[in-house]
């Protein structure tokens, strides 16, 4: 990538959306993958709290800590030259009070170099979204299926169909000052309606093609996460199979004495 690369800021992200451009977002959790995503031209990189499941092997997103999000967020932000970097506020780092949320969102911006934070909730988090915005910290909301509410929802994979609730949540997030909103696992017609009503970009995951943009968990779309095939997911590669084959070949070649060969050895 040239050294003239133009960084996508929060205003640029919003402008791109209002000019009709489809926005792309993927998750990343470290320097190497964030660099690949950035070079490949993704508009935004989310350091999602999905790292609890994808990187740490947990069954929900609840255990990941603020310190861990900052640790990963900093690695991602350091790799990125162009994309907008957003870091999730993890469970219980913003639900206690707007004051707690501002303090922790501020830590994320200061200590990672990211551009913005994301939190889950619409109407119930409106006061918090407003408070974070007043501290000049750009904040994205996330409505529909909210993984941090898994204990209340009972499971994470169910499509959310309460139209009035979703419309209220989306409007509340925009009115409170969110610069964008993730719509997770909602019917496509409803996602279209929300996208038409709001002026801020909607970023869908399992919400159909009519959102302003799309987000996927990076390792899921690269085929790195085993046994996870929700309807909305398209695997654009099968890197787990390629990686497994490469490691098997290495093991076999070392065991059979064919690696290292003369071309890999110093005289
Ligand atoms: O944590 C995450 O990866 C997310 C995306 C699925 C939107 O919130």
- pTM (global) more than 0.95: yes
Of residues 207 and 3, the one with the higher pLDDT is 207
**Does the pLDDT value for residue 2 go beyond 60?**
no
Ligand 1: nearest atom to the Cα of 50? 1
Of 215, 209, 83, whose CA–CA distance to 145 is shortest?
215
- Catalytic annotation on 67? no
Residues 6+ apart with CB under 8 A from 47: 27, 28, 29, 69, 72, 73, 76, 85, 86, 87, 88, 112, 114
**Does the pLDDT value for residue 1 go beyond 60?**
no
Of residues 38 and 227, the one with the higher pLDDT is 38
Average pLDDT of span 113-130: 98
- Is 228 buried (19+), middle (13-18) or exposed (0-12) by CB count in 10 A? middle
Average pLDDT of span 188-208: 98
Place of tokens 């398209």: 234
Ligand 1: nearest atom to the Cα of 120? 8
Instruction: Compute the distance between CA of residue 72 and CA of residue 213 in angstroms, rounded to an integer.
Output: 24
Å from CA of 159 to ligand 1 middle: 15
Instruction: Compute the distance between CA of residue 266 and CA of residue 94 in angstroms, rounded to an integer.
Output: 56
Distances, alpha carbon 184 to alpha carbons 80, 131, 170, 210, 240, in Å: 25, 24, 12, 13, 25
Q: Give the CATH fold of the 10-236 domain.
A: TIM Barrel (3.20.20)
| pLDDT of the residue at 3 | 66
Task: Say if residues 161 and 186 touch (Cβ distance below 8 Å).
Answer: yes
What DSSP element (H or E) covers 211?
Answer: none
**Does the pLDDT value for residue 4 go beyond 90?**
no
Averaged pLDDT score across all residues of the chain: 97
Is the shortest distance between the CB of 8 and ligand 1 below 6 Å?
no
Ligand 1: nearest atom to the Cα of 25? 7
Is the shortest distance between the CB of 205 and ligand 1 below 6 Å?
yes
Residue from 184, 196, 253, 263 carrying the catalytic annotation? 184
Average pLDDT of span 76-99: 98
Task: Say if residues 134 and 156 touch (Cβ distance below 8 Å).
Answer: no
pLDDT in tens, 219-263: 999 999 988 999 999 999 999 999 999 999 999 999 999 999 999
Domain map (residue ranges) of the chain: 10-236, 238-267
């Amino acid at each position: 990538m040239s050294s003239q690369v133009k960084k996508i800021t929060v205003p640029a992200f919003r402008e791109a959306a209002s000019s009709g451009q489809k926005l792309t977002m993927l998750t990343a959790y470290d320097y190497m993958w964030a660099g690949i995503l950035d070079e490949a031209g993704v508009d935004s990189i989310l350091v999602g709290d999905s790292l609890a499941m994808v990187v740490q092997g947990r069954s929900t997103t609840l255990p990941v800590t603020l310190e861990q999000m900052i640790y990963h967020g900093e690695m991602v932000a350091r790799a990125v030259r162009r994309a907008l970097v957003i870091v999730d506020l993890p469970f219980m780092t913003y639900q206690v009070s707007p004051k707690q949320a501002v303090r922790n969102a501020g830590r994320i911006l200061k200590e990672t170099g990211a551009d913005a934070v994301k939190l889950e909730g619409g109407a119930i988090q409106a006061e918090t979204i407003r408070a974070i915005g007043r501290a000049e910290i750009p904040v994205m909301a996330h409505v529909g299926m909210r993984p941090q509410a898994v204990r209340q929802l009972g499971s994470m994979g169910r499509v959310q169909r309460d139209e009035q609730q979703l419309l209220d949540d989306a409007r509340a997030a925009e009115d409170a000052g969110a610069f964008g909103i993730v719509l997770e696992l909602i019917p496509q017609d409803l996602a279209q309606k929300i996208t038409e009503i709001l002026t801020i970009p909607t970023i869908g995951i399992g919400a159909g093609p009519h959102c302003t943009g799309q987000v996927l968990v990076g390792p899921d779309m690269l085929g790195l996460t085993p046994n996870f095939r929700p309807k909305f997911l398209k695997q654009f590669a099968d890197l787990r199979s390629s990686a497994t084959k490469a490691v098997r070949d290495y093991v076999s070649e070392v065991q059979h004495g064919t690696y290292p060969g003369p071309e890999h050895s110093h005289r």
